Structure 1
């Protein structure tokens, strides 16, 4: 996250290709018509690896509807500040927290306890009950411990917990997007990458090579580990530097250029070569996700020669869009929000948070009963927009804790508070954009 199964299988991703996506009425269908949503059918011989079903794009509601698992495998202190505080960490990034503990055994124990309890199997049951069909899982490079340098400070033992969570998602019939959220060296100066690096270190051959190793490892895991049956998309780096950030980061343009010209093509070939070496059929390959060009790192397609099964991630936090600070303006913006850019695009992060200077005033406070109708309509407006002009959405995030206590960032809290409807289809009946 950058601080600044329900629908039918949709496709037509790129150049006539079709991505593997969730199925209507929480079905995940193979080309042979087998319903992967039912756990027993997942184990039918020869059907575990089919990742998408070619089909035509349907109506507006044929879309990914999901949530991010923020602060699970990359803890974000602003989102859940009770976690680090409970361990005695005074720092805001995982790297700095582990370093300050100066005790690898304690760090491993603390983090493993968190990984084992922050999200449980019951969470996935609840997601399905709300009509969600997808989870996006942010992961750090340090989960592949063989590529972590001795000078880098991260908790160990995370891989088994990642396997556990992905398996729970599969058992619930949920589609899974794996997101390289914390890249080696850090792709931006932001604690949300897991490492608060004063100068992003991702953009060199050494860290690119470590990322390729990570992507190869994850690709192999997806195609050889039964827990990963419903993983259909791999995002090769989250929220890289943007070309307009030169006032803060003088190297931003050069870094974005390097990423598009060097990292993206090699990341693609790494994934596809691994799939080829495993004998993965074309209809079982992963969709490969990059940030949409609207993000500001340039056109991700520029140096790619084959866009088969390409997908694009578009993050839309309206609170940062400079919208006039009235409820009507927020509704109008979202009702008319066209997420045009690369195609197919998914709004992989969004929330109900509003501009900082108004968010807790009486006219915007989500705990004030009179404001709840607005938030539900604004939620509906965003859902409809992202299902009409994109191919679906993934809300940030499923769960928060600590002092944030804000349902505008927490999907399940928002449902309980009445800001989000427990039946997503009701977004189309609230008259938000009429």
Structure 2
């Protein structure tokens, strides 16, 4: 009995520390006391070019995004958007502006309360997934919002509850700044506003974002609900042109990193419990995120791969499978340096990289044609999914599907629906590991 109590208390204490990458440097226990990510031994100075002091275990990130929760994209859930009274409007900003703050708060709080429930989190964990990525907007820190900006209020308590649920079942959590102050891209509701131009790339907006990241870092390290948050995405999908994003590389990225580390230093957070700081990787096209970084300690990198919008891949089943099986999203070499351990040589690209968004959707002009229709091509989509995740797990530290649920009636954008359709196995451990054997 004493031993059982000791193990249980040890698990609780281990879970209370904050911030890790699955398999990198700390233990995390599920509700049942199972260690999900195999703590590895600490080695120092393994190689002269390594910034990792914890060697990765065999665990990859396998997860889903919780899209349309705190940053609503009307195209993904038009029925929900319409039922909220937001149907005529293109973004959260526009809907709140039109309905008024009080009414908007009520309808959005109802949405937050019902779009992702505790049952969803339990189901995600039951499918063998180990990670959720939560897109949020800066407006969840309400003191940062100007009187001239219109966003729903009260979201933080729902984020807190969500992270508590996920932590209770042992899911790893990435929180991503999806909607940046001023909008990091124009005319896109996934920033929370359908801004005519990208207003983010100016010093005073960068300062607002770093204040947000500092605030979030403090919460993650001091509130028990957030104990399984190990990574912050500092800005989602900036403009894919380094010349068009002045200050992103020279100012925002290094300042964001420093702001997060300064909060951790002030709190006395041990270096091995630091949050992973995650910009988009160099493959995204906004330039090298490490260009002006003061350090790359506990950095991680986000890669998004949507073949739907990649004109370089011929539109055929065989070409899509071939691309999935041969497109190295990390372009790094994993080398064994000790029995049962490996280290990634990051000299060729950013590591650790996580494919933080991908889907099974195909180009608009063919997506409902007989050769691509989801109702009669389940075999292809199943193989394509297996090929993608197999390659991501071989080349990167894992993957996160976009998204968990939608109202499109199209499993190509919904992990939950893809399982119901038999395209993705209900236990991800049963994925077809031979999907690329003939490619």
The residue correspondences of 1:52-67 to structure 2 (distance < 5 A) are 55-59=54-58, 62-67=59-64
Q: Secondary structure at the match of 2:420?
A: helix
The CA distance in 2 between the partners of 1:392 and 1:211, in whole Å, is: 27
> Is the Cα contact below 8 Å between 1:366 and 1:372 reproduced in 2?
yes
The residue correspondences of 1:169-208 to structure 2 (distance < 5 A) are 169-189=166-186, 190-208=188-206
Partner of 1:81 in structure 2? 78
Q: Which shifted more, 418-427 or 300-309?
A: 418-427
Partner of 1:235 in structure 2? 233
2:382 to 373, 376, 381: 376
> 1:265-313: per-residue Cα shift (whole Å, max 9, x none)?
1111100000010111111110000000111110000001210001000
2:328 to 330, 338, 347: 338
Are the structure 2 counterparts of residues 347 and 213 from structure 1 closer, same or farther at C-alpha, using a change threshold of 3 Å?
Answer: same
Partner of 1:22 in structure 2? 22
Partner of 2:123 in structure 1? 126
1:289 aligns with 2:278: yes
1:388 aligns with 2:383: no
User: How much has 1:58 moved relative to structure 2?
Assistant: 4.5
> Is the Cα contact below 8 Å between 1:75 and 1:194 reproduced in 2?
yes
User: How much has 1:95 moved relative to structure 2?
Assistant: 0.4
The CA distance in 2 between the partners of 1:120 and 1:430, in whole Å, is: 35
Are the structure 2 counterparts of residues 299 and 194 from structure 1 closer, same or farther at C-alpha, using a change threshold of 3 Å?
Answer: same
> 1:28-87: per-residue Cα shift (whole Å, max 9, x none)?
953xxxx52237799xxxxxxxxxx9643355xx31000000000001011111122113
The residue correspondences of 1:13-162 to structure 2 (distance < 5 A) are 20-22=20-22, 30=27, 36-38=29-31, 55-59=54-58, 62-89=59-86, 90-101=88-99, 103-162=100-159
The residue correspondences of 1:275-286 to structure 2 (distance < 5 A) are 275-286=264-275
1:359 to 341, 350, 367: 367
The residue correspondences of 1:216-295 to structure 2 (distance < 5 A) are 216-243=214-241, 253-255=243-245, 257-295=246-284
> Is the Cα contact below 8 Å between 1:332 and 1:433 reproduced in 2?
no
Q: CA RMSD in A?
A: 1.9
Moved over 4 A (4+): 39-42
> Is the Cα contact below 8 Å between 2:317 and 2:380 reproduced in 1?
yes
TM-score, length basis structure 1? 0.85
The CA distance in 1 between the partners of 2:233 and 2:66, in whole Å, is: 15
Partner of 2:425 in structure 1? 421
> Is the Cα contact below 8 Å between 2:383 and 2:432 reproduced in 1?
no
> 1:330-374: per-residue Cα shift (whole Å, max 9, x none)?
101101010133111100000001111111111111112xx1111
User: How much has 1:426 moved relative to structure 2?
Assistant: 2.6
The CA distance in 1 between the partners of 2:84 and 2:398, in whole Å, is: 37
User: How much has 1:321 moved relative to structure 2?
Assistant: 1.7
Partner of 2:406 in structure 1? 400
Q: Secondary structure at the match of 1:413?
A: helix
Aligned pair count reads: 383
> 1:216-263: per-residue Cα shift (whole Å, max 9, x none)?
1100000000011110001111101121xxxxxxxx6242x4111001
Query: What residue ranges of structure 2 are gaps of 5+ in the alignment?
Result: 1-18, 36-51, 332-348
> Is the Cα contact below 8 Å between 1:275 and 1:285 reproduced in 2?
yes
